[in-house]
Amino acid sequence: MAKYVCARPIHPGEILKEEIEYRGISQSKLAAQMGMPYKVLNFILNEHRPLTPMTAMLFEAALEIPADMLIGMQTDYNMQVARKDSKLNKRLSEIRKVAAML
């Protein structure tokens, strides 16, 4: 079965930011509730910092959004960004050439 991928990577922070705006929760209030520095929360919501399992679990506790889903989104985002990395693709191509000769 083919897996469909969005045209652009979607960071989980984008979804979380939309959710807290929809709920009318301020970032500073949410950060305080989660015991997280405001700056860290803001960096995640603005896609400048990745979610970790711990931060995903904090969001789950605060917003009831499953941590597993959020981490899955972060992994998908990371993989899409990596697949678009031309330096990495060149390196992978070189490794595959060598591996084909083994």
Q: What is the pTM of this model?
A: 0.83
**For the chain, which domains are there?**
12-101 (1.10.260.40)
Residue 40 near residue 49 (C-beta atoms within 8 A)? yes
- Spell out, as residue ranges, where the chain has pLDDT lower than 70: 1-6
Q: Give the tokens for residue 41.
A: 């929360």
Q: d(Cα 50, Cα 46) in Å, to the nearest integer?
A: 10
Residue 75 near residue 29 (C-beta atoms within 8 A)? no
Tell me the H-state helices in the chain.
12-23, 27-34, 38-45, 53-63, 67-83, 86-101
Q: What is the pLDDT of residue 84?
A: 92
Q: Give the tokens for residue 3.
A: 């897996």
